[in-house]
Structure 1
Amino acid sequence: MTVSTADPGTITGSLLLGDSHSLHRVAEDLARGMRVAQSLRDTLANRELARTLASWNSAPGHPDAFVASLFPEPSPASNVPFLPKERLLSPREKSAAGDAFTRVLESCEFTSGPAVTAFEDAVADHAGLSCAVATGSGTDALAIALRAVGVEPGDEVIMPANSFAATENAVFACGAVPVLADVTTPDGNLDPESVAERITPRTVALLPVHLYGKLADMAGLRAVADRRGLRIVEDACQAIGVTGVGRYSDAAALSFNPYKNVGLCGKAGAVVTGSAEIAERCRVLGYHAFVPGRKNVKCEAFGLNARIDNTMAAIGLALLPWTGLRGLRRTYLARRYVEALRPLAEEGVIETPAFAPDHSWHLFPVLAAGGAAARDALLERLARASVETDVYYPVLTHRQKTPVRERFFGQADLPRTEWLHDRVLHLPLHAGLSLGEQDRVVEALYAATRRAAA
Structure 2
Amino acid sequence: MEKDQAVVAGRTLTGDSASIHELAQGVLAGAPLAFRVRETLANHELAKTLETLRHSESDTSVLRTLFPESPDTTGVAFLPKDRLLSPEEKTAAAAAFAGVLDSGDFTSGPAVDSFEGALSEFLGAAHTVATGSGTDALIIALRAVGVGPGDQVILPANSFAATENAVFACGAEPVLADVTLPDGNLDPASVEEHITARTTAILPVHLYGRLADMAGLRAVADRHRVSLVEDACQAIGVTGVGQYSDAAALSFNPYKNFGLCGKSGAVITGSAEIAERCRVLSYHGFVPGQKNIKCETFGLNSRIDNTMAAIGLALLPWLSLRALRRACLAKRYIDALSPLARQVPLDVPPFAPDHAWHLFPLVFHEDGLRDTVRTRVSRSSGVETDVYYPVLTHQHETPLREKLFGDVSLPRTEQLNAHVLHLPLHAGMSLGEQDRVIDALHDALRAQT
Say yes or no: does 1:393 pair with 2:389.
yes
Report deviation, 1:59: 2.0
SS of the aligned residue for 1:234 comes to strand
Equivalent residue number for residue 445 of structure 2: 449
SS of the aligned residue for 1:134 comes to strand
Equivalent residue number for residue 4 of structure 2: none
Equivalent residue number for residue 380 of structure 1: 375
* Equivalent residue in structure 2 for 1:49, among 46, 52, 57: 46
For residues 13 and 58 of structure 1, do their structure 2 counterparts lie closer, same or farther at Cα, with a shift above 3 Å needed? farther
Distance, in Å, in 2 between the alignment partners of 1:338 and 1:195 is: 31
SS of the aligned residue for 2:146 comes to coil
SS of the aligned residue for 1:433 comes to coil
For residues 435 and 195 of structure 1, do their structure 2 counterparts lie closer, same or farther at Cα, with a shift above 3 Å needed? same
Equivalent residue number for residue 214 of structure 1: 210
Letter in structure 2 aligned against 1:35: P
Equivalent residue number for residue 37 of structure 2: 40
Distance, in Å, in 1 between the alignment partners of 2:175 and 2:345 is: 34
Equivalent residue number for residue 166 of structure 1: 162
Report deviation, 1:347: 2.3
Describe how 1:257-296 pairs up with structure 2 within 5 A.
257-296=253-292
Equivalent residue number for residue 314 of structure 1: 310
SS of the aligned residue for 2:427 comes to coil
Report deviation, 1:369: 2.6
CA contact (8 A) 2:251 2:266 kept: yes
Say yes or no: does 1:415 pair with 2:411.
yes
The two structures, once aligned, show a CA RMSD in angstroms of 1.1
* Equivalent residue in structure 2 for 1:65, among 53, 61, 64: 61
Distance, in Å, in 2 between the alignment partners of 1:61 and 1:342 is: 32
Letter in structure 2 aligned against 1:33: G
Distance, in Å, in 2 between the alignment partners of 1:23 and 1:393 is: 27
Letter in structure 1 aligned against 2:379: R
* Equivalent residue in structure 2 for 1:424, among 397, 420, 423: 420
Letter in structure 1 aligned against 2:282: G
Report deviation, 1:127: 1.3
Describe how 1:25-424 pairs up with structure 2 within 5 A.
25-61=22-58, 65-371=61-367, 373-385=368-380, 386-424=382-420
Distance, in Å, in 2 between the alignment partners of 1:105 and 1:165 is: 34
> Residue by residue, what CA displacement relative to the aligned partner does 1:323-369 show, whole Å, maximum 9, x if unpaired?
00000000000000000001101223421110000000000000113
Report deviation, 1:451: 1.5
CA contact (8 A) 2:9 2:35 kept: no
Distance, in Å, in 1 between the alignment partners of 2:8 and 2:271 is: 38
Distance, in Å, in 2 between the alignment partners of 1:15 and 1:330 is: 20
Distance, in Å, in 2 between the alignment partners of 1:76 and 1:92 is: 20
Distance, in Å, in 2 between the alignment partners of 1:184 and 1:274 is: 28
SS of the aligned residue for 2:242 comes to coil
Distance, in Å, in 2 between the alignment partners of 1:199 and 1:11 is: 43
Distance, in Å, in 2 between the alignment partners of 1:357 and 1:348 is: 26
> Residue by residue, what CA displacement relative to the aligned partner does 1:200-259 show, whole Å, maximum 9, x if unpaired?
000010000000000000000000000000101000000000000000000000000000
Distance, in Å, in 2 between the alignment partners of 1:53 and 1:359 is: 22
Equivalent residue number for residue 4 of structure 1: none
Distance, in Å, in 2 between the alignment partners of 1:59 and 1:77 is: 30
Letter in structure 2 aligned against 1:278: I
Equivalent residue number for residue 3 of structure 2: none
Letter in structure 2 aligned against 1:379: R
Distance, in Å, in 1 between the alignment partners of 2:34 and 2:338 is: 30
Distance, in Å, in 1 between the alignment partners of 2:145 and 2:344 is: 44
Report deviation, 1:16: 0.6
Distance, in Å, in 1 between the alignment partners of 2:178 and 2:342 is: 27
Farther off after superposition, 313-322 or 375-384: 375-384
CA contact (8 A) 1:205 1:231 kept: yes
Farther off after superposition, 168-177 or 64-73: 64-73
Report deviation, 1:452: 2.2
SS of the aligned residue for 2:128 comes to strand
CA contact (8 A) 1:38 1:50 kept: no
Report deviation, 1:61: 4.3
CA contact (8 A) 2:8 2:35 kept: no
TM-score by length of 2: 0.97
Report deviation, 1:197: 0.2
Letter in structure 2 aligned against 1:381: R
Distance, in Å, in 1 between the alignment partners of 2:330 and 2:312 is: 25
Distance, in Å, in 1 between the alignment partners of 2:212 and 2:37 is: 26
SS of the aligned residue for 1:36 comes to coil
Letter in structure 2 aligned against 1:376: D
Distance, in Å, in 1 between the alignment partners of 2:33 and 2:215 is: 31
Report deviation, 1:56: 1.4
CA contact (8 A) 1:13 1:37 kept: no
Report deviation, 1:11: 7.1
SS of the aligned residue for 2:291 comes to strand
Structure 1: runs of 5 or more not aligned: 1-9
Distance, in Å, in 1 between the alignment partners of 2:35 and 2:313 is: 23
Distance, in Å, in 2 between the alignment partners of 1:11 and 1:296 is: 50
CA contact (8 A) 2:8 2:36 kept: no
Letter in structure 1 aligned against 2:47: A
Distance, in Å, in 1 between the alignment partners of 2:12 and 2:441 is: 38
* Shift >4 Å, 4+ stretches: none
> Residue by residue, what CA displacement relative to the aligned partner does 1:102-146 show, whole Å, maximum 9, x if unpaired?
000000000000000000111111211110000000000000000
SS of the aligned residue for 1:253 comes to strand
SS of the aligned residue for 1:295 comes to coil
> Residue by residue, what CA displacement relative to the aligned partner does 1:360-391 show, whole Å, maximum 9, x if unpaired?
000000011312x2211111111102100000
> Residue by residue, what CA displacement relative to the aligned partner does 1:382-405 show, whole Å, maximum 9, x if unpaired?
110210000000100000000010
Report deviation, 1:32: 1.1
SS of the aligned residue for 2:183 comes to coil
Letter in structure 2 aligned against 1:428: P
